[in-house]
Amino acid sequence: MKLIGSKTSPYVRKVRVVMAEKGIAHNFVEENAWSVETTVPRFNPLNKVPALTLEDGESIYDSVVIVEYLDTLPGLRLIPEDPRARALVRRDEALGDGISDAGIAMRLESQRDPARQDAAWIARQKSKVDSGINAVSRSVAHRKGGPMTVGDIACACALFWLEFRLPEIRWRDDPVLRAWAESLEGRPSFAIGPSKRRQASTRRAIVPGITVSLAPTHFARTVGDISYSTGSDGRLSSLAAASRAPPWCETTIGPFGCRRRIHATKAWRP
Ligand SMILES: N[C@@H](CCC(=O)N[C@@H](CS)C(=O)NCC(=O)O)C(=O)O
């Protein structure tokens, strides 16, 4: 099997976590649906990732369809058989995917030229993200543990994506979500994709002159109290230090794919 996707997509990450949990051997083909040279339409006419090619060459797409298929293969079951329990797990999967949909819509809109941005549209998507996060918290609190499901995986991938791309949405302030997220992050299957745990390995130094190096595919990070993100053109799009405005920072950002540096011009005191 061949999984076509990007390392930063929450939907792709959901599929990768399921594959890791079930021990399904596959090749991961890294592709960016937004690149002019993308090959994704060969596997999904909608030019979206993930897509999965099966042994006979047939492609299936949409993470929901892929995950449902994968769960029929041998290994840990992540979607229950019982119709009601199944519906609740699929609902939570839809919740996680819906948070990702709204978060991505918010981010795409806020990356447009400021004069062309629609603030009402961004606010509408933000309200879906906020109420979605509250619903995840309620679902986790209601279930009080139990086996991990595709619902947990979808919600966790959405929230980790938010932390990666929109770090100002501080869902970890909710103790229920924090404990749940930490228990999932501890699983080897979640070691793939962007996460707080991986940030430590990309950190070079956090000193008054802040220097941060990024893996090529990572263009948003929170390191210590510093949150920053860059657009796909590699230019800095946001930078924040805790509740403090960032005028003390000067940035030198290399071209996309290169090491980027964020350099403070003055000593930074929290
Ligand atoms: N419902 C789809 C959503 C897939 C999706 O939107 N993927 C994004 C990557 S995060 C993408 O490929 N976007 C490209 C585009 O919308 O043109 C799924 O669950 O697979």
| Residue 87 and residue 191 in one domain | yes
Of all protein residues, whose CA lies closest to atom 16 belonging to ligand 1?
Answer: 48
201 vs 96, which has greater pLDDT? Answer: 96
Q: Comparing 55-59, 214-218, 235-239, which segment has the lowest mean pLDDT?
A: 214-218
Q: 43, 5 in Cβ contact below 8 A?
A: no
Q: Quote the number of domains for the chain.
A: 3
| Residue 182 and residue 209 in one domain | no
| Residue 162 and residue 219 in one domain | no
| Residue 63 and residue 38 in one domain | yes
What separation in Å is there between the alpha carbon of 4 and the centre of ligand 1?
12
Q: Pick from 147, 165, 196: which residue ends a domain?
A: 196
> What's residue 227's pLDDT?
52
Of all protein residues, whose CA lies closest to atom 11 belonging to ligand 1?
Answer: 48
| Residue 36 and residue 65 in one domain | yes
CATH code for the domain of 121: 1.20.1050.10
User: Ligand 1 atom closest to Cα of 50?
Assistant: 20
Rg over alpha carbons for the chain, rounded to the nearest Å, is 19
187 found inside a domain = yes
Specify the pTM: 0.76
77 found inside a domain = no
Candidate of 46, 49, 59, 166 to mutate for ligand 1, largest count of ligand atoms within 8 Å of Cβ: 49
Question: Tell me: the pLDDT tens digits for 52-101?
Answer: 999 999 999 999 999 999 999 999 999 999 999 999 999 999 999 999 99
Mean pLDDT of the 148-157 span: 98
| Residue 176 and residue 246 in one domain | no
Tokens at residue 182, please? 């930490």
Per residue, what are the HEC states of 115-176?
HHCCHHHHHHHHHHHHHHHHHHHHHHHHHCCCCCCHHHHHHHHHHHHHHHHCCCCCHHHCHH
270 found inside a domain = no
- Give residue 25's domain range: 2-71
Candidate of 48, 69, 125 to mutate for ligand 1, largest count of ligand atoms within 8 Å of Cβ: 48
| Residue 183 and residue 101 in one domain | yes
Q: Pick from 171, 196, 221: which residue ends a domain?
A: 196
CATH code for the domain of 62: 3.40.30.10
Of the candidates 143, 144, 150, 177, the one whose C-alpha atom is nearest the C-alpha of residue 163 is: 177
Mean pLDDT of the 166-193 span: 92
- Interatomic CA distance for residues 84 and 81, integer angstroms: 9
Q: 63, 5 in Cβ contact below 8 A?
A: no
Of all protein residues, whose CA lies closest to atom 14 belonging to ligand 1?
Answer: 48
Question: Tell me: the pLDDT tens digits for 99-111?
Answer: 999 999 999 999 8
| Residue 67 and residue 127 in one domain | no
269 found inside a domain = no
Q: 67, 18 in Cβ contact below 8 A?
A: yes
| Residue 106 and residue 148 in one domain | yes
191 found inside a domain = yes
Count CA atoms closer than 13 A to 200's CA, side-chain side. Answer: 3
Kindly list the protein residues whose Cβ atom lies closer than 6 A to any atom of ligand 1.
9, 11, 33, 47-50, 62-64, 97, 104
| Residue 214 and residue 146 in one domain | no
249 found inside a domain = yes
What separation in Å is there between the alpha carbon of 11 and the centre of ligand 1?
7
224 found inside a domain = yes
User: Ligand 1 atom closest to Cα of 11?
Assistant: 19
| Residue 214 and residue 168 in one domain | no
